[in-house]
Amino acid sequence: MGATEAVFRRLKSLIQDGEYAVGDRLPGEIALAKEFGVSRPVVREALQACAILGLTETHTGKGTFVVSAKESAKLTFAGIEARHLIEARQLVEIPAAGFAAERHTPAQLQALFTLLDQLAATTDAHEWVRLDGELHTAIAAASGNTMLTSMVADTRRALDVQSEFLNLTQDRRADSDREHEAIVRAIEARSAARARHAMSDHLDRVAETIARIAD
């Protein structure tokens, strides 16, 4: 478990157990960082995760306040409900992966493997999210369908928020790396069926993680 996930889980527990009641103002980031023995950015990311769950709200100049002791039943990322985001991705990214297997160029395939290497090598969580977006967009581009590529690119505003949330609070990076490699290997083999299955499996794992959080 990473530092951000540990702080997030502790804050969530304190809120749900009533240590911080609805209406209470949480200690500032510096005070929380000192209390948990972590850096201020770790606390900030944990607070952002709490806000996504509907537990807290941050008001500039005033601080962060507890607004609910119960997690929201509907997770939203950049204003888009997580369930709707998954459904849209299934409609767009699964066929795009199949087309990429059939239509990719050698240069596009090399770019996909380069992104896999970069994802595996980076230790920066925010850089990983950026590369994750590039990989999914590159897979769509390899489909040769400009409309699918545009649709995948347009989802990144919400998906980047979702990806960061899941990786910081649920430690999804290693699993995602393996799932990404399975997709790219299927594209390399020019197996449309395998590529569609691998992308479907990846999106199912993301959906299961989100459902587990909501439950």
State the Cα–Cα distance between residues 184 and 112, nearest whole angstrom. Answer: 7
pTM: 0.78
- CA distances to 16, 69, 71, 106, 167 from 53, in Å: 12, 10, 5, 42, 15
Q: What is the pLDDT of residues 61-97, one digit of tens each?
A: 888 999 988 877 677 887 888 889 999 999 999 999 9
**The two structure tokens encoding residue 95:** 């066929």
Task: Please report the domains of the chain, with CATH numbers, ordered by start residue.
Answer: 3-66 (1.10.10.10), 76-214 (1.20.120.530)
**DSSP-based three-state secondary structure for 61:** coil
Amino acid at 100: A
Residue 215 has pLDDT above 70, yes or no: no
Question: What is the DSSP code string of 106-175?
Answer: HHHHHHHHHHHHHHHH---HHHHHHHHHHHHHHHHHHTT-HHHHHHHHHTHHHHHHHHHHHHHHH--HHH
pLDDT digits (tens, 9 = 90+) for 136-181: 999 999 999 999 999 999 998 888 888 888 877 777 889 999 999 9
What is the length of the chain? 215
